[in-house]
Amino acid sequence: MTLTDAAVVYDSLATKARHGDVGQAKPYREAFTGFDYHQDSQKWRQVSRVVDRENNRCTERIVDASGDVARDVDGPLNDHLGHGAAKRANPRS
């Protein structure tokens, strides 16, 4: 009799940096690196993202399991509109 088992582990690290100001709403720098599950494709992808509000910069690189780059962005943060939380909410009728 032979028993076999397997486990797959996906790790990630997210950080946020804030100044000592009490009540400051958003961190001045956020970073995420590691694996993230993409709901649409139902696959794990490797993500590296830095949002630097002090320097108005956003970088993001997403690589799928086959090594193909799905997204590679490096530019001013104020040009990064229509993605994630920057999407405009649908008005209620």
**Does any domain span residue 92?**
no
**Does any domain span residue 45?**
yes
d(CA 55, CA 30): 12
Residue 29: predicted pLDDT = 94
d(CA 4, CA 58): 44
Q: Which residues span the domain enclosing 46?
A: 12-17+26-81
Question: What does pTM read for this prediction?
Answer: 0.75
Residue 19: predicted pLDDT = 84
Beta strands across the sheet bearing 43-52: 12-17, 29-38, 43-52, 57-63, 69-76
Which token pair is 8?
A: 């797959």
Only one residue has tokens 């086959």, namely 66
Q: How many folded domains does the chain comprise? A: 1
Q: How confident is the model at residue 4 (pLDDT cuts 50, 70, 90)?
A: very high
